[in-house]
Amino acid sequence: MLDDDDYWYANALFKKKKVKKEENESYVPLWQRSWFQTLLWLLIIGGFAGFIIWYLAGSNVSLFRKKARSIGNEDQDEVETENIFAINYQKEIDKAARQENYRLAVRLMFLRLLKNLSEKNIIQYNQGKTNLDYLLQLRPTRYYKDFFRISRNYEYSWYGQFEVNEQAFHIIRNDFDNFDRQLKF
């Protein structure tokens, strides 16, 4: 009787329900899928590792910190550079060069250069000013390019703590000497 054409809707309805049942049986919730569980575990482990790294970096554990490096050699006397007008530069530069502390010698030559520029009223020296401030003061003058190169070498060696060997020191010293000769004219 159900195979009769008059009851076609009964068979169609029955087939639709059967298809829906098959779809429902293959449905797996998101949290039960294997890729989702793997992703969830990766996020949990990554978050835990990130927290541990953040905690160790913020604490006194030196696992992620660079070792503190001293400026200059331990056995050398520090040169007081608070008042750049009171330093005997030639004596201190020669002393630092003899002790092969070329970074300190470059610093002293730079401070002497600032002193000379200030004495000639080319710049207005102030201990709180930066090298960029002095560059801006020298922008309209003929000293700008040379001072830029000298201050870059100074910043790399002193603040960047790049090692200055004897050969590099002689090149830098020649730049300072050329600049000093330029100031005399």
Structural domain for 167, as ranges: 89-184
Q: Please check whether residue 146 lies inside any domain of the structure.
A: yes
| Amino acid 103: pLDDT | 92
More confident residue, 43 or 57: 43
Residue 75 banded pLDDT, cuts 50, 70, 90: very low
**Do 166 and 111 share a structural domain?**
yes
Higher pLDDT, 74 or 159: 159
Where is mean pLDDT largest: 34-38, 43-47, 67-71, 167-171?
43-47
On whether both 51 and 10 belong to a single domain, the answer is yes
The length of the chain, given as a count of residues: 185
Q: Looking at the structure, tell me whether residues 48 and 104 fall in a common domain.
A: no
Which has the closest alpha carbon to 79: 178, 155, 158? 158
Question: Do 167 and 108 share a structural domain?
Answer: yes
Number of separate domains in the chain = 2
Give pLDDT tens digits for 110-157: 999 999 998 999 999 888 888 899 999 999 999 999 999 999 999 998
Answer yes or no: is 84 within a domain.
no
Instruction: Look at residue 78 and tell me if it is in a domain.
Output: no
Q: Is 79 domain-assigned? A: no
User: 114 with 157, same domain?
Assistant: yes
Same domain for 50 and 97, yes or no, is: no
* Res 173 pLDDT > 60: yes
Residue 158 inside a domain? The answer is yes
Highest mean pLDDT among 3-17, 38-52, 60-74: 38-52
CB 78 within 8 A of CB 92: no
Residues 149, 155, 161, 167: is their CA dihedral positive or negative?
positive
Residue 10 located in a structural domain: yes
CA distances from 9 to 1, 23, 80, 145, 182 (A): 13, 21, 103, 93, 105
Residues 84-114: pLDDT tens digits? 888 888 899 999 999 999 999 999 999 999 9
Predicted confidence band of residue 2 (pLDDT cuts 50, 70, 90) = low
Same domain, 113 and 156: yes
